[in-house]
A = this chain, B = another copy of it.
Amino acid sequence: MTAAVLHVTPDSVPANERVFESECLVKSNMPVNNDYRLLILDAPAEILNCTPGQFFHIQCPVRGGHQPYLRRPMSIYGYFPEKGELQFLYKIAGEGTAALAELESGESLNVVGPLGQGFHIADDWQNLLLLARGVGLATLAPLALEAQRLGKKLTAICSARSPELLMSIDYFRDLGAEIITVTDREGTSDLAHLQGVIEGLIAGPGIDAFYTCGSNRLLKLLQELGAKHGIPGEIALEQQMACGLGMCQCCVRSFRAENGIVHKRVCKEGPVFDLQEAMGW
């Protein structure tokens, strides 16, 4: 069997809004370190028209004691239309991801996507700052690739519990990003230290936009710095999902809006949102 989409998307749908259910073949599914695994799929070309920050909704296999039912959302770690490859970086969190980890090369995996709104890079932004921790790097990795493609300067602050859990450093460095690593173990990941580092970057080369994901602490820090220095930013958020397509309304979160608090669907209006609109949780 070969990777294939399971249906025909109507012509009336603009190319960048098309969503496909498709069977992909596992090329490899290997541990990256103690906590994370990299899943590489052989994917049909149609589904690789992606934007960094978008995600796929993955049907984890029924395997051993694991019987996941709903799909699991996973950020696109890498998408390479030329070689028909789709990559995910994931962490075993529970039943679904545990089953995913048991997939072997040559097996088939059903994925739905690409889904949601990705990151934006305005034409006049030159210096981008990316701040992420742990698996959050998965979400921001394709942004680094896109930044390189667009000739933007990227600084990536990568945070982790300990140095050996720092991931994708080489990946970011190969893309020409400047890397700053901070870890709990070295005592460099605290907010005060981070604030100093970022203030330094703002004062030095300057920053045109922030990109982050997933942590309440980092969100607050960047919101404050953004407000103080007038720097725009975006954040990728998570929420439990059922449909992944915008239909069920289960994935809503609260956001600040002009007329009070509004609900937006993480799967449809997100997962990438304006940094200042996002609310802590």
* A interface residues (Cβ-Cβ under 8 A, vs B): 62, 67
Contact = CB atoms under 8 A, between A and B. Distances in A.
2 contacts: A62-B62, A62-B67
Nearest to A62: B62
Nearest to A67: B62
A224 B150 CA distance: 91
A62 B62 CA distance: 8
A64 to B, nearest CB: 8
Contacts of A67: 62
A65 to B, nearest CB: 9
Number of copies: 2
Contacts of A62: 62, 67
A66 to B, nearest CB: 10
A67 B62 CA distance: 10
A137 B67 CA distance: 37
Nearest to A64: B62
A67 B69 CA distance: 13
A62 B67 CA distance: 10
Nearest to A65: B62
A133 to B, nearest CB: 37
A268 to B, nearest CB: 31
A108 to B, nearest CB: 11
> Which 2 pairs from chain A and chain B are nearest by CB?
A62-B62, A62-B67
A193 to B, nearest CB: 49
A164 to B, nearest CB: 32
A204 to B, nearest CB: 58
A67 B65 CA distance: 12
A62 B64 CA distance: 7
